[in-house]
Amino acid sequence: MTTIYQNFLNSRIANKKLLAILLDPDKIDWNTIVTLIDKIKESPATHIFIGGSQVENNCITELILKIKENSVLPILLFPGNPSQISSEADGILFLSLLSGRNPDYLIEHQVNAVPILKQTNLEIISTGYLLIESGTKTAVERVSNTKPLDRDNSNYVLQTAQAGEMLGNKLIYLEAGSGAKQAVPLEMIQLVAQNIKIPLLVGGGITDLQGIQNAYQAGADLVVIGTAFENNSDFFNQNT
C-alpha cells in the first residue's frame, strides 16, 4: 500500500499539487456535518487535516469516524498537543515548532506523545513547522508563546527550513497562522521550495482560489485551507 508520505513524494515528482482542508473540531457544527463532508468530497481536497492550537471539545475521534463513514480522503492529525491524538486517523504530522525557542513545542510534547503513538498504527510524518509573521498575533504564537519568524527575512526562514531538513524532517510547513491577515510571502515560498528537497506545505491566511494557485506556482506542494472553507463551504465553487 502506498503510504501517505510516499504519495506526497510521488505527487511532487509528478508536479501534482495537493490540497488539505483543515477542520478544527471546536468549530464543527454537528447538525450539518454530513453536508460539510459532501462539500469536501466535491472540492479539490486531497487530504483532510484535523486539529488546532487548542481543542477543547474532546470529539476528534467522533469527527474522524463520521468523516470516514462518508469519505475516503486520508485524514492527518495536525495536533497542538498530545491530547489531540486519535488512533482512528490515518497519520499524524509530527510537528516540531522550529521557528520558536520554546522547548515544549520543540521536543517536550513529542516525548509525551510517544506512549500514545505507540498504541496506534498512525503513519508518523515528522514535520518542521515554521511560523511566519503575518501582521497579527495568531493562535499558534499565543499558545506556543513563541515569536514567529520575520516575514522580511526569507534567508533566515530558508536556513531554518534547511536545518529542519538536515535534522531529518520529512516535510516543511510554512505557517502564517490560522486566520492570518497576511499569508506567507510568495518569494519566501519560492526561495524555500527551490532550496529544500522535501515536500513543502503552506498555509494560513489564504482566502481565495488565486491565493492557492499563487502558492502552488511559487513552489508549495500542498496548500492548507482552514478558515476560508470554515466560513464558506462553497469556497471552492466560486469563480476566481
Where does this chain bind ligand 1GP (CB under 6 A)? 22, 175, 178-180, 203-206, 224-228
In the bound state with ligand 1GP, the residue whose beta carbon lies nearer, of 127 and 178, is: 178
Cβ-based neighbours of 147, under 8 Å, separated by 6 or more? 99, 100, 141
Helices (H), ranges, 32-90: 33-42, 60-70
Of 114 and 225, nearer to ligand 1GP (C-beta) is 225
The answer to whether 160 is annotated as binding is no
Shortest Cβ 22–ligand 1GP spacing (Å): 5
Nearest distance in Å: CB 144, ligand 1GP? 12
Residue 5 makes CB contacts below 8 A (sequence gap 6+) with 91, 123, 125, 170
User: 168 exposed, middle or buried (CB, 10 Å; 0-12, 13-18, 19+)?
Assistant: exposed
Residue 179 annotated as binding? Answer: yes
126 annotated binding-site participant: no
Question: For residues 117 and 67, what is the distance between their CA atoms, to the nearest angstrom?
Answer: 21
State yes or no: 127 annotated in a binding site: no
The answer on whether 174 is annotated among ligand-binding residues is yes
Is the CB of 180 or the CB of 192 nearer to ligand 1GP? 180
Among 99, 101, 56, CA closest to 80 = 56
174: its cell numbers: 510554512
> Which CB, 26 or 121, lies closer to ligand 1GP?
26
- Say which amino acid occupies 125: I
Alpha helices, DSSP H, located in the chain: 4-13, 33-42, 60-70, 103, 109-117, 139-144, 154-166, 186-195, 209-218, 227-231
Q: Is 104 annotated as a binding residue?
A: no
| Residue nearest ligand 1GP (C-beta atom) | 203
Tell me how far, at minimum, the Cβ of 1 lies from ligand 1GP, in Å.
28
Nearer to ligand 1GP, 100 or 203 (CB): 203
Q: How far is the CB of 212 from ligand 1GP (least distance, A)?
A: 10
71 labelled ligand-binding:
no
Q: Which residues are annotated as a binding site for Mg(2+)?
A: 24, 53
Query: Which residue positions form the known binding site?
Result: 24, 53, 173-179, 204-205, 226-227
Mark the binding-site residues for sn-glycerol 1-phosphate, compressed into ranges.
173-179, 204-205, 226-227
